[in-house]
Amino acid sequence: MENNAELQRFLEQEKQKAMVSEMVGKLTSVCWDKCITGTPGSKFSSSESTCLTNCAQRYMDMSMMIMKRFQSMQ
């Protein structure tokens, strides 16, 4: 009984982690394609790393917009 609750909590936690990991993986892939246009150097230029940061944050903003847009359609 108690083990079962522990297992539930564990699964819930892992589900959260999987969601986060999927999100990070997806954003990295999308933003890599957008921001890293040349061949990868031995260090990111500051414009590349700024682009990556902005890209991730704007993607989240956009997801919010899309969600709101769809909510308002219902």
Partner 1 sequence: MDPFGSSAPSSGASSGPSADAMMEQIKTQLAQAYAKEFLETVGSKCFTKCITKPGTSISGSESSCISRCIDRYIEATGIISRSLFSSPH
| Residues that bind partner 1 in the complex, under the rule CB under 8 A | 3-4, 6-7, 10-11, 14, 17-18, 21, 23-25, 27-29, 31-32, 36, 39-42, 44, 49, 52-53, 56-57, 60
| Least distance in angstroms from the C-beta of 43 to partner 1 | 8
- Please give the Cα distance from 72 to 74 (Å, whole number): 6
- Please give the Cα distance from 21 to 25 (Å, whole number): 6
Q: How many CB atoms lie under 10 A from the CB of residue 56?
A: 17
Nearer to partner 1, 59 or 74 (CB): 59
